Amino acid sequence: MGRQQAAHRRKANNRASVLMITAIVLMLTVVVAVKCAELDRKVAEYEAVESQLEEQIAEQQARAEELVEYEKYTQTMKYIEDVAKSKLGLVYEGEIIFRQEN
């Protein structure tokens, strides 16, 4: 009978060990699943931020191009004439100006 009791104890110990290992594996699986969900959420947030930043970059590049064009325009005679007429009220000799009555 001693052998049977020892064998029964070993089986009980083996079952307990298997149950503990199974519980540990399940807990690890749950922890990994939760962390994966958190990482997926963070990735989505970072992708949204990245797309916003890319839009801002595109806007700033367009603005830079506009500034380059404006710089070229300010170096032309047309710009000088426009500023002289609008801000200084200057006109060419013999030019007639028509003004609207308010």
pLDDT tens, position by position, 11-47: 778 888 999 999 999 999 999 999 999 999 999 999 9
Per residue in 53-91, pLDDT (tens digit) is: 999 999 999 999 999 999 999 999 999 999 988 888 888
3-class secondary structure per residue, 31-70: HHHHHHHHHHHHHHHHHHHHHHHHHHHHHHHHHHHHHHHH
Residue 93 in any domain: the answer is no
In a domain, 101, yes or no: no
What residues make up the domain containing 9? 2-86
In a domain, 30, yes or no: yes
Residue 102: inside a domain: no
pLDDT value at 5 more than 80: no
- Give a yes or no: residue 64 inside a domain: yes
92 lies in a domain?
A: no
Q: Cβ–Cβ contacts within 10 Å for residue 84, how many?
A: 13
The per-residue pLDDT for 10 is 77
**Residue 2 reports pLDDT greater than 90:** no
Categorize the per-residue pLDDT at 49 as very low, low, confident or very high, splitting at 50, 70 and 90: very high
In a domain, 79, yes or no: yes
Q: Is residue 94 part of a domain?
A: no
pTM: 0.55
Number of domains making up the chain:
1
